[in-house]
Structure 1
Amino acid sequence: MEQFYMAAIKEEGLISIVKRSIVVIVGRRAYYMSYVAQRLLEGLKAYTTMYEVSEVFVARMTLIRNLGRILSEDDKTLVTPLFPVVFIGGKLVGGLDRLIAIHVTGKLIPMLKAAGAIWL
C-alpha cells in the first residue's frame, strides 16, 4: 500500500512538497474528510500544507489499484484509494482512519514533536 501511494505522489509531482513541509495532507478536491484531518492536526497546533488532487487523478489511482487486485486474483472487493493521505516529517502516516488511530493511542503528539510540527 505504501509503495502505491508513494508512486502516486511521485507521479503527481508532490515529492518536493512532502519533503519540504512538516505536515502534508493530500486529499480529493472539496472532500470533507481532508478537512477533518486538517482540523484534527490544527487542533493540536500543527499547521498543515493541504494539496488537493483532481478527480481525474483519483479515478486513475482507483483504476490502477483495482487492476492490481484483479491481477493478483484478490478481486472479490474492489476499492477506491484512501484519501486523504497524511505525511508527517516526510513519512507516510496513512489515511484519516490511521491518523485517528495514532491519535487515540497517544502516539500522534510525540510523532508531531519529533517532526518539529509542535513544541508543547
Structure 2
Amino acid sequence: MQAIDDQSTGGIRAMADVYGPNAGVPTAYEAVRRLAGENAVVVFSTSGCCMCTVVKRLLFGLGVGPTVVELDLLPSSSAASDVHAVLFHLSGCGKMSPIPAIFVGGKFLGGIDTLMACHINGSLIPLLKDAGALWL
C-alpha cells in the first residue's frame, strides 16, 4: 500500500483547509469535530503504523471510502501535535497511543480494538450503513 493514496490526500487537504490562512484559527478540537461531522468515516492515522494499515484495509475491503488523515504528513507539525492531543483526550487511553482513531457518523468510535470488536460481533456494517458509508 502506498503511503499517500487519494483518500489520505483528501484528508490532508481537508485538515490543511481547516488550518489554512483563509479558515481563521480553529482549535484542533474544532478541526477534528468539523472533519468528523462532514464525512461518514474518518481515520486518523500515521503512514508507518501497521495497525493503521489494518484499519484502512478492513474499511476499504468492506467497500468504505474513509477520509484518511495521515498526521505525519500534515503540512504543520504543530497542527498534527494538536490533533494528536485531541485524539488522546477523546480516547481516554492513558499511556497508549490514540492512533489509529476512527470516527463513524460524526462520532468517535475508538481505535483498532473497538473497530475489530464491532466487525467480529456484527455491529460494524449497521454502523457504517447508518452513517451513509455503505449503501448495500
TM-score greater than 0.5 by the shorter chain:
yes
Which residue does the alignment assign to 1:115?
A: 131
In structure 2, what is the Cα distance between the partners aligned to 1:9 and 1:94?
Answer: 18
Using a 3 Å threshold, how does the CA distance of structure 1 residues 85 and 9 change in structure 2: closer, same or farther?
Answer: farther
In structure 2, what is the Cα distance between the partners aligned to 1:95 and 1:31?
Answer: 13
For structure 1, the residue ranges without an aligned partner over 5 or more in a row are: 1-7, 70-77
Secondary structure in 1 aligned to 2:109?
strand
TM-score of the two chains, using structure 2 as the length reference: 0.62
Q: CA deviation at 1:52?
A: 1.7
Amino acid of the structure 2 residue aligned with 1:98: T
Identity within the alignment, %: 35
Query: What CA RMSD, in Å, does the superposition of the two structures yield over aligned residues?
Result: 2.8
Q: Equivalent residues in 2 for 1:10-49 (5 A)?
A: 10=29, 13-49=31-67
Amino acid of the structure 2 residue aligned with 1:20: E
1:43-68 CA-to-partner distances (Å, cap 9, x unmatched) read: 1111111012248728x74xx87xx9
Q: CA deviation at 1:9?
A: 5.3
Does 1:102 find its partner at 2:100?
Answer: no
Q: CA deviation at 1:14?
A: 2.4
Does 1:57 find its partner at 2:81?
Answer: yes
Aligned residues: 99
Does 1:85 find its partner at 2:109?
Answer: no
Amino acid of the structure 1 residue aligned with 2:48: A
Q: Which has the larger radius of gyration?
A: 1
TM-score of the two chains, using structure 1 as the length reference: 0.69
